[in-house]
Amino acid sequence: MDILKERILKDGRVAKGGVLKVDNFLNHQIDVKLYNEMGKEFKKLFDDVKVDRILTIEASGIGIACVAAQYFDVPVVFAKKAKSKNIDGEVYTSTVESFTYGKSYDITVSKKFILENENVLIIDDFLANGKASLGLIDIVKKAGANVAGVGIAIEKGFQDGGKTLKEMGINLHSLAVIKSMDDEGNIQFED
């Protein structure tokens, strides 16, 4: 998706530790017009699959998923990371090893909100080693639902998350796949 790639080149920054900073348009400050274009693009890419529900994970996935859901006309559910009084009853849980936060955490979705045999499209902002996506896929499978696909804003193609998901037969579409990036700030995309 050209406008996303152009925006990454214009406003993205490679920080120490292999972190791509896109906090001025994607995951701290948010350009909602760009989210809308991304939502339209996800709809195009997943137009041939049945989608009953969009599943994402707090926090950065929520805005992308909500804006995209307008084009799919389906509800969004977001997996929660923290235990709270606001989630009770029966839940599906999976453990995710986080690259960003440097530790593992549990993600939780109420059993009420993923139904058996539903077709669930997973949407998230980043795909690197794939741990968050694998946690969400795990939850969809525990619910007896189908993974309609995984839609990602930015995939780090030089990490193995994309390969892992494709080997599992997941219908993966990433709007921008980074082939390489270095500490000098050079970013290259896959075609």
Which residues, numbered 53-72, are part of the site for a copy of itself (CB under 8 A)? Answer: 58-59, 62-63, 65-67, 69-70
Q: Which residues contact 48 (CB under 8 A, 6 or more apart)?
A: none
Instruction: Specify the amino acid at residue 72.
Output: F
User: In terms of CB distance, is 158 or 168 closer to a copy of itself?
Assistant: 158
- Does position 92 interact with a copy of itself (CB under 8 A)? The reply is no
What burial letters (b/e) apply to 73-109, b meaning 16+ CB within 10 Å? ebebbbbbbeeeeeeeeebbebebeebeeeeeeebbb
Three-state secondary structure of 46-102: CCCCCCCEEEEECCHHHHHHHHHHHHHCCCEEEEECCCCCCCCCCEEEEEEECCCCC
User: In terms of CB distance, is 52 or 168 closer to a copy of itself?
Assistant: 52
- Does position 113 interact with a copy of itself (CB under 8 A)? The reply is yes
Where does this chain touch a copy of itself (CB under 8 A) — which range of 33-41, 131-139, 161-169, 170-178? 33-41
- Does position 93 interact with a copy of itself (CB under 8 A)? The reply is no
Among 42, 46, 78, 189, binds a copy of itself (CB under 8 A): 78
- Does position 31 interact with a copy of itself (CB under 8 A)? The reply is yes
Query: Residue 13: which H helix or E strand, with range?
Result: strand 13-15
Residues that bind a copy of itself (CB under 8 A): 15, 17, 19, 21, 23-24, 27-33, 35-36, 58-59, 62-63, 65-67, 69-70, 73, 75-78, 80, 82, 84-88, 100-102, 109-110, 112-113
